[in-house]
Structure 1
Amino acid sequence: MTIISNQSAEHYTWGNHCDGWHLVKTDSLSVIQERVPPGFSEVRHFHTKSEQFFFILSGVATMELDGEIFTIDSHQGIHIPAGAKHQLSNKHDNDLVFTVTSTPPSHGDRVEI
């Protein structure tokens, strides 16, 4: 066991100028810290098997979930059930930083809409 942070975790980039860090990456659990700059978003999608929990560390997230819009502030979270169509966006002026926990891991289980 070791202490992990975004300084020591495996880093990757996605979309346009977004960052991710694998904090936990096992066969049954994924915990990722991500950063989304102002004005950027992920592609609308769903996961066939994975359920997810997004927890906002800083900034404000806009989450479209099955046609309903949610505004999620720092230190708040939202659960995304498997099969739910969703899209996270940063519509504000500051970076959006959050963790997303997926079980089972969502990589390879994403269907873009």
Structure 2
Amino acid sequence: MKISKQNAEHYTWGGICDGWHLVKNKELSVIHERMPVNTSEVRHFHNQARQFFFVLSGTATLEVNGERIILNPQEGVEIAPLTPHQMINDSNEDVEFLVISQPTSKGDRVLTEG
């Protein structure tokens, strides 16, 4: 079945951020996310999930283990399990990106301080 933002399961997080489940199963998760200006997720890590963040539009900051990495469109970063990270939009435009998790990150998130 063909999948897109228009027919994917949609959810909101952080009050104003959007996510669309493009693939959602235990082995693999692919989510298209949108973060408005001045939003961020909480810093966390995953015990098992390996993730890949890939920016589609806008400019995102991905903080990985204390290092801030600027991601422009068509750039991405792989995050190994147990690595603290946080996606941040401190730019002046919305950011849209893919987050791919293997296995799914559902129920595998541990919040960290920082």
TM-score in same-fold range (> 0.5): yes
In the alignment, the residues of structure 1 paired with residue 27 and residue 99 of structure 2 have an alpha-carbon distance, to the nearest angstrom, of: 14
1:8-41 alpha-carbon deviations (Å, 9 max, x no partner) = 0000000130000000011200000000000000
Matches of residues 1-113 of structure 1 in structure 2 within 5 Å? 2-113=1-112
In the alignment, the residues of structure 2 paired with residue 88 and residue 50 of structure 1 have an alpha-carbon distance, to the nearest angstrom, of: 16
Instruction: Give the alignment's TM-score, normalised by structure 2.
Output: 0.97
What SS does the corresponding residue of 2:39 show, helix, strand or coil? coil
Q: How many residues align?
A: 112
In the alignment, the residues of structure 2 paired with residue 68 and residue 39 of structure 1 have an alpha-carbon distance, to the nearest angstrom, of: 19
1:50-107 alpha-carbon deviations (Å, 9 max, x no partner) = 0000000000110110011100000000000000000110011110000000000001
What SS does the corresponding residue of 1:32 show, helix, strand or coil? strand
CA positional deviation for 1:6: 0.6
What SS does the corresponding residue of 1:84 show, helix, strand or coil? coil
In the alignment, the residues of structure 2 paired with residue 71 and residue 27 of structure 1 have an alpha-carbon distance, to the nearest angstrom, of: 30
Letter in 1 for 2:87: L
Instruction: Give the alignment's TM-score, normalised by structure 1.
Output: 0.97
Contact 1:62/1:90 (<8 A) preserved: yes
